[in-house]
Amino acid sequence: MSIEQYDLAIIGSGSGNSVITPFWDNKKVAIIDSGTFGGTCLNVGCIPTKMYAYPAQLASNATTAARLGVDMQVTKADWPVIRDRIFSRIDAISAGGKAYREKELEHTTLITEEAQFSGPKQLTTPSGRTIEADQIVIAAGSRPSLPDVPGLDLPGVHTSDTIMRIDSLPKRIIIVGGKYIGSEFAAIFSGLGTEVIHINRSGQLLSNHDNTISDEFTRIAKEQWQVALNRTLHSIDQQGGRLRVNLSATGHETNEVVDYFVGDVVLLATGRVPNIDRLNLPAAGIDTDAGFIARDEYLRVLSDGQPLDGVWAIGDIANPQMLKHVANHEQRLVSHNMENPDSMKRETLGPIPAGVFTRPQIASAGLTEDEAKDQYGEEAITVKVQDYGDTAYGWAMEEYDGFVKLIAEKSSGDILGVHILGAEATNLIQPVLTAMSMNISAHQLARGQYWIHPAMAEVVENALLGLDVPDSGCL
């Protein structure tokens, strides 16, 4: 077969799809994806999970409404209706995007096969196609990572790739994994009425967060569903038509079963691994770093520590911060650098925020309190934890749990970290992130603008005012 020549080849149609800017209109572009067009976020990640999180939030409002004197009854969450609403929208977007690249645009070729490197600028596919391109962008993402234990192939054992399309709402689900994916699905299923058993290897849920967040979230989660901490998955087997999840005690060398739970469905949310093993990277001499593709500050991949001309990597395949807004930003950076080789840009954005769409929501950016103490010294930082419940909107909501925690440097007033647990946390964080990204001090953010009264955002204003930082002169 002849070698196909392209100006640009992209592996991965998630954030990779947006690499095809108008710059490429009169050039030849190949986009290669062996999976569902549109990648993880659209098909099995951020978007469908949040489309489930919202109805789960609505269904659970009955509990919170009661303390406001509103008697609200939720009689049923109709899983097939919720599921079909979500996927009728998502599947249409994926199919539309695929048809656009495949049929409508003359300059793009969609290749729906697995691609592997066969040279620094050459890719091959199982059907024998050979593709060469001046520029190659690796946007091959990540996939669920599973522990090596017996029983993972039993019917009813799922990952985030399959759980959202099951036929009916399970009576009882066992979720293994206590960070983003496990916690978001625990909130979704418990909100919709499933009995949830949530298993976590360490002693805290969301243990990668600031301790105040992890401790509080673990406590609040236990009020909503059953949580089993310090337990590691040992094996899964069948028991009378149901699934039995066997657990060992984390850190115990004997690996004996100390606990088990029986449920109808099991969700493994035990982490994600970048797809580097699917690319034959050694054929291109591409370096890896801790399981991710290694890159320079312009996001060119490295080969023997040196940038490999015309080969770039973005998103989960290269960045341990596996977040869609990170992958999207990296796409914009690589697009700019490919299109403007004489004025390339480095990564300069401020701290990376992350949201967890649980009940309550969580949002964070920057340093945890422990990290700030380590980096700046305890005396150099100031910390304020402001409860929603001490603000006017918190009274309206009768909100007991929510808080905004800010960490700042005393001498400069720079905000070092923000950690929010509570209603609309993923929106409330944004002004703080603006300040952190654009060098606005804590006092200036609080007093350099109006804050609408009595909006929920006053909890952020009050947290800022509670920090021991220099006066900016703003009133």
Ligand X SMILES: Cc1cc2nc3c(=O)[nH]c(=O)nc-3n(C[C@H](O)[C@H](O)[C@H](O)COP(=O)(O)OP(=O)(O)OC[C@H]3O[C@@H](n4cnc5c(N)ncnc54)[C@H](O)[C@@H]3O)c2cc1C
- Contact positions vs ligand NAD (CB under 6 A): 147, 176-182, 184, 199-202, 232-233, 269-272, 322-323, 354-357
Q: Which is nearer to ligand NAD, 11 or 354 (CB)?
A: 354
Backbone dihedral angles phi then psi of residue 183, each to the nearest 5 degrees: -70, -40
The one among 23, 27, 28, 46 contacting ligand X by CB under 6 A? 46
Distance (Å, rounded) from C-alpha 433 to C-alpha 331?
21
160 is a contact residue toward ligand X (CB under 6 A): yes
The per-type count for the chain, helices as H runs and strands as E runs, is: 12, 25
110 is a contact residue toward ligand X (CB under 6 A): no
Select from ligand X, ligand NAD, none the partner in contact with residue 248, using the beta carbon and a kind-dependent cut-off of 5 to 8 Å.
none
Q: Which is nearer to ligand NAD, 303 or 426 (CB)?
A: 426
The one among 59, 82, 133, 140 contacting ligand X by CB under 6 A? 140
Q: Where would I find the beta strands (DSSP E) of 153-291?
A: 157-158, 172-176, 195-199, 226-228, 231-239, 242-249, 257-263, 265-268, 272-274, 288-289
Side-chain half-sphere CA neighbours of 152 within 13 A: 14
Note whether 221 and 186 are within 8 A (CB): yes
Q: Does 351 sit behind a cis peptide bond, omega within 30 degrees of 0 on the bond before it?
A: no
Distance (Å, rounded) from C-alpha 341 to C-alpha 330?
16
Cβ neighbours for 406, distance < 8 A, ≥ 6 positions apart: 383, 384, 386, 415, 417, 418, 432, 442, 463, 464, 466, 467
365 is a contact residue toward ligand X (CB under 6 A): no
- Count of residues that interact with ligand X, criterion CB under 6 A: 37
Name the DSSP letter for residue 25: T
- Residue 149 CB, nearest distance to ligand NAD (Å)? 7
The structure tokens listed for 430 are: 């944004």
- Residue 178 CB, nearest distance to ligand NAD (Å)? 4
Select from ligand NAD, ligand X, none the partner in contact with residue 34, using the beta carbon and a kind-dependent cut-off of 5 to 8 Å.
ligand X
Name the DSSP letter for residue 463: H
Q: Specify the pairing of strand 415-421 against strand 403-409.
A: antiparallel
Cβ neighbours for 171, distance < 8 A, ≥ 6 positions apart: 194, 195, 264
358 is a contact residue toward ligand X (CB under 6 A): no
Select from ligand NAD, ligand X, none the partner in contact with residue 369, using the beta carbon and a kind-dependent cut-off of 5 to 8 Å.
none
Select from ligand NAD, ligand X, none the partner in contact with residue 461, using the beta carbon and a kind-dependent cut-off of 5 to 8 Å.
none
Q: Specify the pairing of strand 403-409 against strand 116-119.
A: unpaired
**Residue 192 Cα to chain centre, angstroms:** 22
- Residue 248 CB, nearest distance to ligand X (Å)? 26
Spatial CA neighbour of 314 closest among 129, 138, 124, 181: 138
- Residue 354 CB, nearest distance to ligand X (Å)? 7
Select from ligand X, ligand NAD, none the partner in contact with residue 386, using the beta carbon and a kind-dependent cut-off of 5 to 8 Å.
none
Three-class secondary structure of residue 213 per DSSP: helix
Cβ neighbours for 40, distance < 8 A, ≥ 6 positions apart: 14, 46, 141, 142, 316
The structure tokens listed for 14 are: 């998630």
State the amino acid at position 229 in one-letter form: L
Distance (Å, rounded) from C-alpha 233 to C-alpha 268?
10
Select from ligand X, ligand NAD, none the partner in contact with residue 124, using the beta carbon and a kind-dependent cut-off of 5 to 8 Å.
none
45 is a contact residue toward ligand X (CB under 6 A): yes
Q: Specify the pairing of strand 3-11 against strand 130-138.
A: parallel
169 is a contact residue toward ligand X (CB under 6 A): no
Scanning residues 301 to 320, which ones bind ligand X (CB under 6 A)?
315-317
Q: Which is nearer to ligand X, 15 or 386 (CB)?
A: 15
Distance (Å, rounded) from C-alpha 115 to C-alpha 278?
8
Scanning residues 14 to 43, which ones bind ligand X (CB under 6 A)?
14-16, 32-35, 39-41
* 209 is a catalytic site residue: no
Neighbours of 380 (CB within 10 A): 15
The DSSP-derived string for 35-55 is: SSTTHHHHHHSHHHHHHHHHH
- Residue 426 CB, nearest distance to ligand X (Å)? 9
12 is a contact residue toward ligand X (CB under 6 A): yes
Query: In the stretch 175-204, what mask flags binding to ligand X with x, by CB under 6 A?
Result: ------x-----------------------
Stretch that binds ligand X, among 77-85, 272-280, 371-379, 467-475 (CB under 6 A): 272-280
Q: Which is nearer to ligand X, 191 or 394 (CB)?
A: 191
Q: Which is nearer to ligand NAD, 207 or 391 (CB)?
A: 207
Q: Which is nearer to ligand X, 94 or 386 (CB)?
A: 94
Catalytic residue among 252, 329, 419, 453: 453
Q: Which is nearer to ligand NAD, 176 or 334 (CB)?
A: 176
Q: Which is nearer to ligand X, 275 or 441 (CB)?
A: 275
- Residue 44 CB, nearest distance to ligand X (Å)? 6
* Footprint of ligand X (CB under 6 A): 11-16, 32-35, 39-41, 44-46, 49-50, 114-115, 139-142, 160, 181, 275, 278-279, 315-317, 322-325, 327
Q: Which residues are catalytic?
A: 453
